[in-house]
Structure 1
Amino acid sequence: MSHIPVTRAPGLLPKLTSRASGKVQTGGGDLYIYETLLTASYAAVSTSAYEINLYERFSTAPARKLKHHTDQLTQIRVREDSVLSSSIDGQIAVWDIRQSANQPSLVLKSDDPILSFDISADKTAVIGGTQLNSEYAAKILMWDMRMAGALARVFEDSHSDDVTQIHCNQNSSSQILSGSTDGLLCTFDLSQPDEDEALQFVANTGASVAECGYFGPSSQFIFAHSDMETLQLWTNEATRLADFGDVRELGQSDMAIDYIAKCEYDTETQRLYMIAGTNEGSLHIMHVGVESMEYIQTLNGGHGDIVRGFDWKLSEGYAISGCEGGRITWWSTEDQIQQPVSAIPAATTASGSKRVTGANGRRFAPY
């Protein structure tokens, strides 16, 4: 790997500062936070209590809790008024938060633990990736939402280990990306009739894929980072653009890096960002190019543990993060003005009474 310089561009983004912070707790003590995701009006936070907490903007007390799963949650997604969650229990729960019912509106089932999933661009399908089972099959499952979530297709020959990532191309309803512990990134065209014909391109990253995703105005690029904290950029036709190697080696005396928390593509500015963290809870925001990285800002004071969840509304100037110690922190720009948000419908008991659970620049240019 060639050395990739890290330059400094503090003015690339408005500065974020801590707005509110609090611990997520339950009767049994503190919780571990897995993911934090934002919609226009609320945040969804998955926890080690097998549930999802919903927070109104800048609140640290959940307005509502969604609980259905009987084992560890592996991923959550938010789409408009829906929250979806997958679990080791082999289910994907679909919640319509416009409804006050405390049960999912639909449950998709698998014989194997589900590690990852996504929703197609046209919202007609949910695609999930499973853990390697006792028959040495790691599957990609497709449920048809037009047929009450019936299982429509199964691919089981493309990966040889856990399918840790599924991403649907939001510019094409038939294109999907998968990543696996076997180190492979696979792209598929689901308009094709079988798995062999649907499989388009395969890229070998050489390390277990922890996170991957599309980026670029036409989703023409792919990022992938591994369990070994390496980061690579590819085209969606499996041509490697950049290999940053172990990003921990890019750290500097005043900017230590222990892990990659998340990579995030902003569609408005057409930039790819890496959120890198320290074991003490600091987060570094960095702009990712092919030949260099630009350090922008460090978020301090929000956490004292490894941060697992981070999401932002970049154009609106706020973000949320969650850590292993069970703390969520809201961040905002100095000039951010809180807009009115719609209240999250409270869950109801069987008798209909409400049950309240808490109080209130430059663009990426690969060539």
Structure 2
Amino acid sequence: MERLEEQFSDLRVAKRSAMKDNMTYILDIGMSSAVVEAPKNQAVAILCSDKSIRLYNKETMTCLQEYNAHPGVLSGICFSHSNNNLLFSACSDATVKLWDVRASGSEPAQIFNGYPANVFISFDISCNDLVLCAGTEKIDDESFLVFWDARYSSKGDSREPLGIYSESHNDDITQVRFHPNNPGLMATGSTDGLVNVFDIAEDNEDDALSSTCNSGSSVSVVGWAGKDYNQIYCLTHDEGFCWWDLAQMDTDESITLCKVEDMREKVTSCSIDYLIGGLYHDKTDSMFLVAGSHTGDIHLLSCDSDNLTYLKSLQGGHTATVRSFNWCVDDNSLLTGGEDAQLLLWKLKAKDLSPGKRDSMKMTSAVQQRVRVHSSKSYSTKQKKNKDV
């Protein structure tokens, strides 16, 4: 952990890429796998508030391509695990689109159609690139997890769903996260307060639901952690944090490793206004949280069995709320995007480019506009599979 703390403190802004429109801010960042034979060709995709996706070269931070054929609100982006040329995006128009970044046109290479009333607000693809799943907003008292065969077809045909899960959440499904190594395991989070884990190899939804953890609040982020990725964590819309060990599900030990209702009250060593995300560092087997302030500061916190420790802060890069980050373990670099219409690349001991920072943007996040925060009383659980945490 000391080494990562040292690396974080040595990060400086190496490259800065501003949006064409100063009112456009960055909601999500996706990074392709490192290209061993050509590391300078690693691609970065960003999801923008103007309903566009922009593709960048990570090394030069130059914009390579822009996709803006989205009639609805975008809700996520991610690259294929096995093919760096394929990029997925989900949209509120009941589609997930697949883009071939080698193509010069602006039309998707493939479209995965949902059902007409679906509004997708989350999605992910399994680690073997075979299964795609998207979570919907609650409409008419129903919310769905929709599944497709994700295998790419050069014919560019549209795909219809393989099936749905409809009983395990009763409100907006804000997160879908497949296991990093096991393509059959998937975790989901919802504004109903629940984090569910499914084994999608099972024949039906009831059998697939292997565990349910109750955060007590509206879930905003879900992730996998632990040496064997047998732990899950979540962040909540009221800046809370929960961390569970699924390996202890069938033991007498509590599965809760850490639970904080409001990080802003728990941590006093720095000024935290919100949580950006979680970071499990597999090389050090350590769990970290990334937090921020509305002035653009970024804070790193370490997590260890109900104990949170402030480590370091990055200052002088952003001037407004930071909404997304991506830590690259291969070269220990960091990408951040915020509401100041900037994409920043931080590198170890880089020449500081802070004097060129942009002015703060006074704007409400699209994520905040889209997702309703519910009270802890607005959900119910499957008692037979919900263990006291």
Q: Which residue of 2 aligns with 1:24?
A: 19
The answer to whether the aligner puts 1:334 opposite 2:344 as a matched pair is: no
Question: Which residue does the alignment assign to 2:190?
Answer: 180
**Residues 1:126 and 1:9: Cα distance change in structure 2 (over 3 Å):** closer
Partner of 1:87: 91
Q: CA deviation at 1:10?
A: 4.2
Q: 2:144 aligns with which of 116, 128, 139?
A: 139
Q: Whole-Å Cα distance in 2 between the matches of residues 22 and 86 of structure 1?
A: 24
* In structure 2, C-alpha distance between the alignment counterparts of 1:307 and 1:233, rounded to whole Å: 23
Paired position in structure 1 for 2:355: none
Q: CA deviation at 1:334?
A: 1.6
2:266 aligned residue: 250
1:113 equivalenced with 2:119 (yes/no): yes
TM-score, with structure 2 as normaliser: 0.79
Amino acid in the other structure paired with 2:145: I
Aligned-partner residue type, residue 81 of structure 1: N
> Which residue pairs with 1:271 in the alignment?
286
Contact 1:258 1:278 in 2 (8 A): yes
Measure the CA separation in 2 of the matches of 1:183 and 1:152.
Answer: 27
Structure 1 residue 285 displacement after superposition: 1.5
Aligned-partner Cα distance in 2 for 1:132–1:36: 25
- List runs of 5+ in structure 1 lacking aligned partners: 1-6, 337-367
Instruction: Please give the secondary structure, in 2, of the residue aligned with 1:249.
Output: helix
**2:328 corresponds to which letter in structure 1?**
K
Distance 1:267 1:116, change over 3 A: same
* Segment drifting more, 39-48 vs 236-245: 236-245
SS of structure 1 residue aligned to 2:330: helix
- Seen in structure 2, the aligned counterparts of structure 1 residues 104 and 307 have a Cα distance that, compared at 3 Å, is same
Q: 1:49-95, CA deviations, whole angstroms, 9 ceiling, x for partnerless residues?
A: 21111111244541211222111111111223321111112211111
Structure 1 counterpart of 2:54, one-letter code: N
Alignment match, 1:160: 170
1:128 aligns with 2:134: yes
Offset at residue 267 of structure 1 (A): 2.5
Is 1:193 the counterpart of 2:203? The answer is yes
Whichever residue aligns with residue 222 of structure 2, its letter is C
- Provide the residue aligned with 1:359 in structure 2: none
Q: Quick one: structure 1 residues 322 and 73, their matched pair in 2 at CA, closer, same or farther if it must change by over 3 Å? A: same
Computed over aligned residues only, the root mean square deviation of the Cα atoms, in angstroms, reads: 2.2
- Give yes or no for the alignment of 1:203 onto 2:213: yes
**1:102 to partner: Cα distance:** 2.4
2 CA distance for matches of 1:325 and 1:45?
Answer: 14
Change (3 A) 1:222 1:280: same
1:296 aligned partner: 311
**Structure 2 residue matching 1:115: 3-state secondary structure:** strand
Q: Post-superposition shift, 1:217?
A: 2.6
* CA distance, structure 2, for counterparts of residue 48 and residue 83 of structure 1: 18
Tell me the distance in 1 between the aligned counterparts of 2:46 and 2:13.
18
Query: Contact conserved, 2:25 with 2:48, CA < 8 A, in 1?
Result: yes
Are residue 57 (structure 1) and residue 52 (structure 2) matched? no
What percent of counterpart residues are identical? 26
| CA shift for structure 1 position 325 | 2.4
- Which structure has more strand as a fraction of its residues? 1
In structure 1, how many angstroms separate the alpha carbons of the residues matched to 2:216 and 2:331? 37
Tell me which residue corresponds to 1:311.
Answer: 326
Question: What TM-score comes out, normalization by structure 1 length?
Answer: 0.83
Counterpart in 2 of 1:78? Answer: 79
Distance of 2:246 and 2:327 partners within structure 1: 25
1:240 aligns to 2:240 (yes or no): no
Q: Secondary structure at the match of 1:63?
A: strand
Give the superposition deviation at 1:150: 3.1
Superposition pairs of residues 326-365 of structure 1, within 5 angstroms: 326-334=341-349
Match of residue 31, structure 2, among 16, 32, 38: 38
Distance, in Å, in 2 between the alignment partners of 1:22 and 1:11 is 26
Structure-1 separation of matches of 2:195 and 2:97: 26
1:261 matched to 2:276: yes
Query: Cα gap change, 1:14/1:268 in structure 2, threshold over 3 Å: closer, same or farther?
Result: farther
SS across alignment from 2:260: strand
Question: Deviations for 1:283-309, whole angstroms, at most 9, x for unmatched residues?
Answer: 011222213233332111111111001
Per-residue deviation, 1:14: 5.8
CA distance in 1, matches of 2:330, 2:309: 19
In 2, are the aligned partners of 1:187 and 1:236 still within 8 Å (CA)?
no
| Unaligned 5+ runs, structure 2 | 35-41, 250-254, 352-389
Alignment of 1:2-13 (within 5 A): 10-11=5-6, 13=8
TM-aligned CA deviation for residue 104 of structure 1: 1.4
Distance 1:115 1:77 in 2: 14
Residues 113 and 160 of structure 2 are in contact (CA less than 8 Å); yes or no, is this contact kept in structure 1? no
Aligned residues of 2:43 and 2:57 also touching (Cα < 8 A):
yes
Aligned partner of residue 45 in structure 1, secondary structure: strand
- Say whether the 8 Å CA contact 1:12–1:296 is kept in structure 2: no
The one of the two structures with greater contact order (alpha-carbon pairs below 8 A, sep at least 6) is 1
- State whether residues 183 and 207 of structure 1, in contact with CA within 8 Å, keep that contact through their aligned partners in structure 2: yes
- Across the two proteins, how many residue pairs are aligned to each other? 326
